Amino acid sequence: MHISLFAGLAEAAGQRSLDLDPPLPVTAQELLERLRLSFPELPWDGVRLAMDQTYVANDAPLRANAELALIPPVSGG
């Protein structure tokens, strides 16, 4: 799974994406937990997962080839 990073999350990671291949099926919450364990140094507070440009519920199953992105707390406007 290829997961895009933005803003403070991308800056802290020093890169614009992360790759992780968890056993499938995997829910949004499970993926977030795996990412936190794999990259504990990143600022995870308030981070949400988006799939195909839509916020996903914690228990939503993720498709392996979906467009995934980690959305840190937003500050537009």
Q: Which positions touch another protein (CB under 8 A)?
A: 4, 6-8, 11, 46, 50, 53-55, 69, 71-77
Structure tokens at 69: 């992105």
Tokens of 1: 């799974």
Q: C-beta of 14: minimal distance to another protein in Å? A: 15
Strand partners, 2: 19
Judged by beta carbon, residue 31 or residue 56, the one nearer another protein is 56
Smaller CB distance to another protein: residue 7 or 20? 7
- Which helix (H) or strand (E) element contains residue 61? none
**CA atoms in the 13 A half-sphere facing the CB of 46:** 6
Closest to another protein by CB, 25 or 66: 66
